[in-house]
């Protein structure tokens, strides 16, 4: 039996489409490949974007900004000495884009000028840190990306 060019091309296309469909079905049906959105209720989040930008700009305009660092003990957030610790309120949100199950929030409750999030709460990899805080009635938002090794 001899196969001509036309038949060979049709067979090649059919095999390629079968190959692609196999992977599409595998990814959609296997729970190992989560298709999560980074933010639930995306459109509601998008409507508040202007307010978020104002808070980010307020944080950028500060003469002395809080510093987020990766230390051996974990993530340390250090507020400058000019801030009275008891007047700082807010929360620090840790987002892991690979899995919503790993996301968590830490309330800002300071006795000194720093806040420590222990390393045992953080898996290795990339973390998006959003610190929403207010000081003397003014709201701020600080965003940072940290890589944990």
Q: How many CB atoms lie within 10 A of CB 68?
A: 19
Q: How many CB atoms lie within 10 A of CB 135?
A: 17
Whole-number pLDDT of residue 91: 93
Enter the pTM of the model. Answer: 0.68
Whole-number pLDDT of residue 140: 93
Q: Say if residues 136 and 89 touch (Cβ distance below 8 Å).
A: no
Q: How confident is the model at residue 111 (pLDDT cuts 50, 70, 90)?
A: confident
Q: 139 has which bridge partners?
A: 134
Q: Say if residues 108 and 88 touch (Cβ distance below 8 Å).
A: yes
Residues in the chain: 149
Q: Where are the beta strands (DSSP E) in 57-137?
A: 67-70, 74-78, 88-95, 104-107, 114-118, 125-135
- Taking the C-alpha atoms of residue 56 and residue 125, their distance in angstroms, rounded to an integer, is 25
Q: How confident is the model at residue 44 (pLDDT cuts 50, 70, 90)?
A: confident
């Amino acid at each position: 039996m001899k196969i001509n060019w036309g038949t060979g091309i049709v067979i090649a296309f059919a095999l390629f489409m079968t190959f692609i469909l196999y992977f599409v079905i595998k990814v959609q049906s296997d729970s190992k490949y989560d298709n999560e959105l980074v933010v639930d209720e995306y459109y509601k989040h998008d409507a508040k974007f202007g307010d978020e930008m104002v808070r980010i700009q307020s944080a950028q305009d500060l003469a002395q900004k809080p510093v987020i660092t990766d230390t051996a003990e974990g993530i340390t957030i250090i507020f400058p000495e000019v801030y009275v610790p008891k007047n700082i309120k807010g929360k620090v949100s840790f987002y892991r884009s690979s899995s919503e199950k790993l996301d968590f929030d830490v309330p800002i409750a300071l006795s000194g000028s720093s806040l420590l999030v222990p390393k045992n709460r953080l898996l290795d990899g990339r973390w998006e840190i959003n610190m929403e805080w207010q000081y003397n009635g003014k709201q701020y938002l600080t965003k940072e990306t940290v890589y944990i090794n």
